[in-house]
Amino acid sequence: MREFIVEADGGSRGNPGPAGYGSVVIDAATGQTLAEAAEYIGVATNNVAEYRGLVAGLRAAHELDPTATVHVRMDSKLVIEQMSGRWKIKHPDMKPLAFEASKVFPAPQVTYEWIPREQNKHADRLANEAMDAGKRGEQWSASGSTAELDAADARAARAVAEPKPAGPPGDAAAGAARARAALSEGRAAHAAASAGSAAAGSSGRRGAAESSGGGAVRAGAGAEVRAGAEVRAGAEVRAEADVRAASVAAPATGWGPADMGAPATFVLLRHGETPLTPQKRFSGSGGTDPSLSDVGREQAERVGAALARRGTVQAVVASPLTRTRETAGIVAAHLGLDVTVDDGLRETDFGAWEGLTFGEVRERYADDLGAWLADPEARPTGDGESFAATATRIAATRDKLVAAYAGRTVLLVSHVTPIKTFVRLALGAPPESLFRMELSAASLSAVAYYADGNASVRLFNDTSHLRP
């Protein structure tokens, strides 16, 4: 029985806005691209475009072999979880599309897997080509597409890009690269040789594609499907697999000098409760900026007393929001320290969701919430701040504070998203890990940053100091 891989994506420039999808069918045994599909679909949401891409990819696979097994790979967490049956489908625009997708192949023949966006470049490029064509008042044309070649070039570039032993303090990927460099000095030469083979193959494929002029046939609903003829060279496949394996490596220990000196240690304190905390409402940097409740002030007192007994904190830095400055002030009084304010520690701006519960957001902004849960680049409704933007801000703040407090222990009083992001970056964990951490009000976490660039998570969500 043949096995196909279907990679699909969709996008909307406005959400809703001008939208398009792209999908590609790949032979699982050889890596050969068998078919491509793309279409500009007018004004639609991201999620609708993603579902349209899924349906088109499955149909293209079905035309090739209706008896094949199909493994669907998409970077849409929403579509993957819904089609796998783990999440309910409530939005009326997506229900018929999901039903349509489920009927192309018998259910036992199809499996679903979420992949990061960078691993879905081929389908992403096709979707963007379709949207670009729509902007010109045209439909996507297979003969003018460079998506397959661009994706091959990106794969070759990843194969060459063996991680170098450099990076900011606390960057887990850089720490892992240092360990791999210490283990094997011959890897760079191997990667360079693989890159040469990949580049030569890519160049040959590009020339063949340009001379052949493509070979598109119509495939229903305005989409086109094109036969492909790319078989990746063995060296390129091996190098790509090697980079994929290396990308998930955890920071190694024991490879640095015997004595790197005292690390910069961040004790991460989430602020005490506010009136919004027990109601589980979105409370970011763009809302009402609530003060601590009586419970929150008592929690801050307990934190201060516990840290004073330990006697290790040498400085206090707080987010500029009222609840963090109040918490920091109470704790600092116990420690006999002043409070410095750093804007980089502020909470994410949740836009129009500020003050709402998760359920209320789901009722009012279902599509935007779905996109936000699936994509770290997605912003909350009303031009809020994406998790990707928050991570960039926190990484810059981390680097600045590590340099300022080298060898010292500093208390950072911040919020849920920044603290989880400090931990995520230290672990080298993917963005979706933010949804898999529980962080209580007035909890303590700790990360140590060493001179060689490695980081060590030493404590997470400790609330023992709040117990009577």
393 dihedral zone (left: phi>0; alpha: psi -120 to 50; beta): alpha
- Our answer to whether residue 347 is catalytic in this structure is yes
Choose, from 91, 122, 271, 415, the residue flagged as catalytic. 271
Spatial distance between the Cα atoms of 172 and 252, rounded to a whole number of angstroms = 9
Helical axes 95-102 vs 46-64, angle rounded to 10°? 10
- Among 468, 467, 331, residue whose Cα is nearest residue 410: 331
Q: Give yes or no: 415 in active site.
A: no
- What dihedral do alpha carbons 40, 41, 47, 52 form, nearest 10°? -90
Q: Write the DSSP string, 214-232.
A: --EEE-STT-EEE------
**Structure-token match 């008042």, residue found:** 137
CA distance 178 to 157: 20
Residues 6 or more apart whose CB falls under 8 angstroms from that of 59 comprise 37, 104, 219, 220
Catalytic residue among 81, 148, 347, 385: 347
Q: Which two tokens stand for residue 316?
A: 């206090």
Q: How far apart are CA 211 and CA 230, in angstroms?
A: 15
* Beta-bridge partner residues of 12: 19
Q: CB–CB of 8/74 below 8 Å? A: yes
Cα(69)–Cα(284) distance, rounded to whole angstroms?
Answer: 45
Q: What is the 3-state secondary structure (H, E, C) of 91-115?
A: CCCCHHHHHHHHCCCCHHHEEEEEC
For residue 415, the SS3 value is coil
| Residues marked as catalytic | 271, 347
